[in-house]
Structure 1
Amino acid sequence: MEASKTSKILFRPEEYRALSEEERRLLADGYLRAIEVVRKNVTPAGFSACSLADNTVYGTDANYRSVWARDGALTALWTIDLEDEDIRQAQIATFDTLLDNQGPNGQIPANVHIETGVPEYAGVGGIASIDSVMWVIVGIVHLCEAREDWSLAERHAGRLQKAMDWLAAHDSNNCGLLEIPEASDWADLFGFSYHVLYDEVLWYRSLDCYSRLLDRLGENEKAEGYRQQTLRVRKKFMATFWPSTHTEEGAMLHSFTDAQYSLGDARYLVAQVSPFSFSWRCDVCGNLLAFLTGLLDKERAMMAFRFLWGSGVNDPFPVKNLYPPVQAGDPEWRSYYAVNLLNLPNHYHNGGLWPFVGSMWVRFIHRLGLPDLAQRELVKLAKLCQQGMSFPWEFNEWHHGMTGRPMGKAYQAWSAAGFIRACHDLEAVPSEISHAI
């Protein structure tokens, strides 16, 4: 593939003098390998979750041979800048495949099997996938805005409204936030429920994106209603997930009902809150996403960064998705964490290393105004993705949280796409590529 057909982002060598020549070559190699991996996942139906030709599936793993809503939407989002026609077609095909299989109640399927075309709406235990629907809405709006072509959104306008209505129905008590079933998002074998940080960030972003879509479609009054709802959700979100001994106006909290679950003054957004309990653990992915979507302000994001950095969530590589992991015997432990031995401590969603979250970590640091550190973390992310069980540059799905060794599927689409997006955000497309543009 010629570089001129790859990207219009340029490398800025004067800003990368802190990196060695070997590190710059590593980024160059990683960037091109990441594009190859994304291309491995291009199918007529859209992006597969992982390369169909390079992975053997066993039993429940058969669902990897599917177009997944969250994986596909994120892969489309993070490859928007690529000028590769096959990838651009797969972006559109991904959303068409998912929305063409929308359920009668408005739910967008979690995935659609590539060979059979059969949609799957639920995951483990028959629980619906909530974040899949939100990622599709966010992904379509960003794709249309980037291309300055709204035909995709116009074609599916009615379906997108039904999807928003389906999501809104999960605000069962009209508080502004969604009530999320257990194990119903990307952490589909994990015990967070009710008000879940990651899902509420996506709900906020979905409302914001959908209001922009309605403006584009000329439904300005309706768009204003969604904008007002976005503001309401933002206020409720901060009061829920950033514990404080003070109100927004500075008054001291003193009543038992206000303070019974207080953690004092927070240093990060807590992972989950319900009327009867909370999880004080740090959902790393949710915290990063909150800042990248503009929901968390820079001052609080810097506080979260200091906590995460001090906790070593980027060690040995960026980055663990949860800190600290849940141990057997902990009140938050669930017996199903042992299903397929996936969620043992430092595995999978229970403190595993995820390259796609690592790419968000790099972008988070860069947006905080720490470019030198972001560059070094990008190099660490490249070294993580360079590993493989069988071959170099497998861009595996996830890695062990302590050893850093790959344990997930090879040639995972969103792992590679996340690396591409991090390179673009840092304007780190290496000189070997930019010279040919």
Structure 2
Amino acid sequence: MNNLAYDNAVALLHKVSTANGFLASAENTSNYKRVWARDGVICGLAALASGDEKLIATFKNTLQTLADHQHKIGTIPSNVCFLEEKSEISYGGLAGRVDAVTWFIIGVCQYSYYTNDSVFLEKNKSAIEKCLGLLDAWEFNNKHLLYIPLSGNWADEYITDGYVLYDQLLRIWALKSYNHFVKDAAISEKIANIQKQVEVNFQPNTTGEKYHDGAYNAVEFKGYMPCSFSPSGYKTNFDAFANSLAVLLNIGTEAMQNSIVSYASNLASETKLGLVPAFWPPIFETDEYWSLLHKNCKYEFRNFPYEFHNAGSWPMVNGFLGLALLSKSEKEKAALILDKIQEANAKGNYSYYENFNTNTEAPNGVSYCAWSAAAEVLLQQSIHTNFKLVL
């Protein structure tokens, strides 16, 4: 157990703590000096794992900020910026952020469970119910899978759209977290229906009605669940975050889950950083989806091969891979991923970079990135104190 690394990671979470919640980074970069939904909840999960009362209080403030700025139709802010005159609310950039809604539900429920704060859960029930209704509407065809716009989640400059695996799994986790408290038969049935559709449409050789028979029959499955599909067909790139969630939530056949564990572990071992890239393989200028990737940016293009979402390596994503490995009793493999996260976070005298070029190991994005530290704290506590998320 690396106490110095752990203490530094916790110290960074304290540094990004404000009265309004966790900021995305301690670096003086305007877009990161905001309370973000997904970043804030992931930092909050690390706070719960740490047992640090001040960090747990910041988690509560983060959730309260998101609830206070919920749109009247139910949308949770992607981020909120607090200025002297007023707050600025963003529900997304080029497209709305669907995962802000699911992360909010997960956050409220995990916080309420670990702090035994039933009052906070009750206070936010109406906000959660609005979120659930909005998620139902975002199915569009009432067939249990969310339809996600391009740029509609954390991989906001990547190529995934349509029925995106990551978002279906977050929804399952959100529903399970909420149903832990309300124990609603209708929610239980909804969870089962979503899970069935994920397993039928994202695994090979399944029985049951497919969303898109032609596309399903044409796809070559590769030992993991593909990242997304849409009316135009499947995108089969490996999404490390989504597949880690599938293993963590026990979605898919035992053979598929074992295959994901094997694929991800082998891929990580083959990189210089020893970390799994967020998506794999990288997309190059000669590839089919390069134009789509290249045009999907609001300010400047960052998704060069092996960087950012285009096969870059993120400590945050690897934290969830470590949790997935641990859930399958692969403690040695999880500990190895933790070691590699700590090595990455320590680069530049503990600069906690957002992500790294998988080919050159060069850092990318902002430094002192809060969820890079959070991933380390969450995984270390899960390994060494047996902390477990509500799944």
Q: Same fold (TM over 0.5)?
A: yes
Residue segments in structure 1 that go unaligned for 5+ positions in a row: 1-23, 216-222, 430-437
Partner of residue 295, structure 2: 336
Residue 68 (structure 2) aligned to one of 100, 122, 131: 100
**Amino acid aligned to 1:281:** N
Give yes or no for the alignment of 1:196 onto 2:152: no
Seen in structure 2, the aligned counterparts of structure 1 residues 420 and 297 have a Cα distance that, compared at 3 Å, is farther
After alignment, is 83-92 or 414-423 more displaced?
A: 83-92
Partner of residue 389, structure 2: none
Seen in structure 2, the aligned counterparts of structure 1 residues 376 and 313 have a Cα distance that, compared at 3 Å, is closer
Residue 204 (structure 2) aligned to one of 240, 243, 265: 243
Greater Rg over alpha carbons, structure:
1
Q: How many angstroms apart in 2 are the aligned matches of 1:45 and 1:259? A: 45
Residue 363 (structure 2) aligned to one of 406, 411, 415: 406
Deviations 1:237-273 (A, max 9, x none): 01111122x537xxxx9x974853232x541000111
Q: What secondary structure does 1:360 align onto?
A: helix
Q: How many angstroms apart in 2 are the aligned matches of 1:159 and 1:266? A: 39
- Write the mapping of 1:5-404 to structure 2, written as runs, cut at 5 A: 24=1, 27-51=2-26, 55-57=27-29, 62-115=30-83, 116-123=86-93, 125=94, 127-215=95-183, 223-244=184-205, 246-247=206-207, 257=214, 260-263=217-220, 266-312=222-268, 315-317=271-273, 318-333=275-290, 334=292, 335-336=294-295, 340-388=300-348, 392-404=349-361
Q: How many angstroms apart in 1 are the aligned matches of 2:157 and 2:234? A: 18
Contact 1:298–1:368 (CA under 8 A) maintained in structure 2: no
**Amino acid aligned to 1:393:** Y
Contact 1:291–1:297 (CA under 8 A) maintained in structure 2: no
Contact 1:69–1:111 (CA under 8 A) maintained in structure 2: yes
**Amino acid aligned to 1:336:** K
Query: What is the CA distance between 1:79 and its match in structure 2?
Result: 1.8
Contact 1:268–1:300 (CA under 8 A) maintained in structure 2: yes
Seen in structure 2, the aligned counterparts of structure 1 residues 416 and 266 have a Cα distance that, compared at 3 Å, is same
Query: What is the CA distance between 1:408 and its match in structure 2?
Result: 1.9
Deviations 1:173-200 (A, max 9, x none): 0111001111110011112111001111
Q: What secondary structure does 1:416 align onto?
A: helix
Q: What secondary structure does 1:198 align onto?
A: helix
Contact 1:378–1:422 (CA under 8 A) maintained in structure 2: yes
Q: What secondary structure does 1:273 align onto?
A: strand
After alignment, is 329-338 or 87-96 more displaced?
A: 329-338
Contact 1:180–1:195 (CA under 8 A) maintained in structure 2: yes
Runs of 4 or more above 4 Å deviation: 255-259
Q: How many angstroms apart in 1 are the aligned matches of 2:122 and 2:329? A: 37
**Amino acid aligned to 1:56:** N
Query: What is the CA distance between 1:118 and its match in structure 2?
Result: 1.6
Deviations 1:350-376 (A, max 9, x none): 111100111122222222222223222
Structure 1 vs Structure 2: percent identity of aligned residues?
Answer: 25
Query: What is the CA distance between 1:83 and its match in structure 2?
Result: 3.1
Contact 1:291–1:298 (CA under 8 A) maintained in structure 2: no
**Amino acid aligned to 1:178:** L
Query: What is the CA distance between 1:307 and its match in structure 2?
Result: 2.1
Contact 2:97–2:153 (CA under 8 A) maintained in structure 1: yes
Q: How many angstroms apart in 2 are the aligned matches of 1:329 and 1:337? A: 17
Contact 2:80–2:90 (CA under 8 A) maintained in structure 1: yes
Q: How many angstroms apart in 2 are the aligned matches of 1:233 and 1:288? A: 18
Q: How many angstroms apart in 1 are the aligned matches of 2:332 and 2:338? A: 10
Seen in structure 2, the aligned counterparts of structure 1 residues 78 and 401 have a Cα distance that, compared at 3 Å, is same
**Amino acid aligned to 1:261:** A
Seen in structure 2, the aligned counterparts of structure 1 residues 82 and 172 have a Cα distance that, compared at 3 Å, is same
**Amino acid aligned to 1:112:** V
Number of aligned residue pairs: give it: 379
**Amino acid aligned to 1:397:** E
Q: How many angstroms apart in 2 are the aligned matches of 1:314 and 1:283? A: 17
Query: What is the CA distance between 1:377 and its match in structure 2?
Result: 2.5
After alignment, is 351-360 or 78-87 more displaced?
A: 78-87
Seen in structure 2, the aligned counterparts of structure 1 residues 164 and 375 have a Cα distance that, compared at 3 Å, is same
Query: What is the CA distance between 1:226 and its match in structure 2?
Result: 0.8
Q: How many angstroms apart in 1 are the aligned matches of 2:40 and 2:213? A: 45
Q: TM-score, normalised by structure 1?
A: 0.82
Contact 1:365–1:371 (CA under 8 A) maintained in structure 2: yes
Seen in structure 2, the aligned counterparts of structure 1 residues 260 and 373 have a Cα distance that, compared at 3 Å, is closer
Partner of residue 432, structure 1: none
